[in-house]
Amino acid sequence: TIVAAMALSVLIALVFTPALCATMLKPVVKGHRHGEGGWFSGFFGCFNRMFERNTDRYESAVGRIIRRSGRYLLIYAAIVAALGFLFARMPTSFLPEEDQGVMFTQVMLPAGATQERSIEVLKKVERHFLDDEKATAGSIFTVAGFSFGGRGQNMGIGFINMRAWNERQGPGMSVKAVAGRAMAAFSKIREAMVFAFVPPAVIELGTSNGFSVQLQDRSGLGHDALVAARNQFLGMAREDKRLVGVRPNGQEDMPEYQLEIDHAKAGALGVSVANINDTLSTAWGGSYVNDFIDRGRIKKVYVQAEAAARMTPADLGKWYVRNARGEMVPYSAFTTA
């Protein structure tokens, strides 16, 4: 569309515009007053006189600049130098950071960590803001299982609402200072990586200021080499004092447990593959049932085994599946790990 519009504009400018100019614009001798005798004769006469006067002034100014070219070249050089100085000294971001009264925290536990561990880390984050930053933080809302880096039981996020600006007038009470102290406190949490950051001036432009870097394995070295290069790059970036909150985006590789089903044994015991998969999916992954209304809000109902019954691979032997005869058959009778 853009190319077609540009081509049409060029065609009109080269073909039709000269013909229209030759038809509509006629040379007029200076002082000629033909056609100025209507209702707007006074307006057009005044406009022409002002236009000619400004044209003469412009020609006179250009002549003075040409006669004193050395002086005006020095002025031009000074303007260029000032622009270069401002370009080098002023911040290069789209907009400078602003205290908008909110900040975020992101929690990342090792891959495979349970939701209970994530909740414990989020409680530490809550205690930091509600106890150590009670003079600056008004409230905090945390969510386990979700973050800007992805979804999973090992992920978490927190939204901190700061107190009003008139209550944070003292030094060290800005949202940026609070985020800096939070990063120092969160560095002592060994079981997770916790980051605190302030939103950009325009929320729609992202979740935080700074920049992103993407690595690409162009040599085909494999996943392990790419992860090692990423970790090396993150380590080098964290050593740079100009960078704060250096963190990877996304989740680490999740551990997998492969379960082999002996279909011959399962068939002999009267257990169908569909029942095996359904029971395993419901017990370990959860299954949606329906919705119900609680205090005016719609909430979802999920069926899932208790966390204590699905913590280790050995817990799989505690589960049974119903066969075609209505009997309960243990998973250990037809599965191997």
The CATH number of residue 114's host domain is 3.30.70.1430
Task: Note whether 88 and 138 are same-domain residues.
Answer: no
Task: Note whether 106 and 210 are same-domain residues.
Answer: yes
- Residue listed under structure tokens 């930053």: 133
Identify the three-state secondary structure at position 288.
strand
Question: Is residue 12 included in any domain, yes or no?
Answer: no
pLDDT digits (tens, 9 = 90+) for 123-153: 999 999 999 988 899 899 999 988 877 788 8
Task: Note whether 181 and 129 are same-domain residues.
Answer: yes
Task: Note whether 128 and 180 are same-domain residues.
Answer: yes
The DSSP line for 193-252 is EEEEEPPPSSGGG-SSSS-------SS---HHHHHHHHHHHHHHHHT-TT--S---SS-P
**pLDDT band (50, 70, 90) for residue 95:** low
Judged against a pLDDT cut of 90, whether residue 261 lies above it is answered with no
How far apart are alpha carbons 71 and 217 in whole angstroms?
57
Question: Is residue 244 included in any domain, yes or no?
Answer: no
Task: Note whether 68 and 134 are same-domain residues.
Answer: no
What angle, rounded to 10 degrees, do the helices at 69-89 and 41-67 form?
90
Report CA torsion sign: 163, 166, 167, 172.
Answer: positive
Question: Is residue 151 included in any domain, yes or no?
Answer: yes
pLDDT digits (tens, 9 = 90+) for 16-73: 888 888 887 777 666 666 555 567 677 777 888 899 999 999 999 999 888 888 888 9
Question: Is residue 22 included in any domain, yes or no?
Answer: no
- Residue listed under structure tokens 């609070």: 178
Task: Note whether 207 and 283 are same-domain residues.
Answer: no
Task: Note whether 106 and 220 are same-domain residues.
Answer: yes
Region 254-263 average pLDDT:
80
Question: Is residue 202 included in any domain, yes or no?
Answer: yes
Question: Is residue 31 included in any domain, yes or no?
Answer: no
Question: Is residue 26 included in any domain, yes or no?
Answer: no
Task: Note whether 89 and 124 are same-domain residues.
Answer: no
Task: Note whether 128 and 195 are same-domain residues.
Answer: yes
Region 113-128 average pLDDT:
90
Task: Note whether 117 and 88 are same-domain residues.
Answer: no
For the CA atoms of 287, 289, 290, 292, what is the dihedral angle to 10 degrees? -90
Task: Report the candidate in 111, 107, 124, 108 with the shortest Cα–Cα distance to residue 158.
Answer: 107
Task: Note whether 324 and 270 are same-domain residues.
Answer: yes
How far apart are alpha carbons 53 and 61 in whole angstroms?
12
Judged against a pLDDT cut of 60, whether residue 326 lies above it is answered with yes
Task: Note whether 169 and 266 are same-domain residues.
Answer: no
- The number of angstroms, rounded, from the C-alpha of 243 to the middle of its chain's C-alpha atoms is 18
Tally of domains within the chain: 3
In this structure, what CATH number is given to the domain that contains residue 317?
3.30.2090.10
Which residues form the domain of 314?
260-336
Question: Is residue 136 included in any domain, yes or no?
Answer: yes
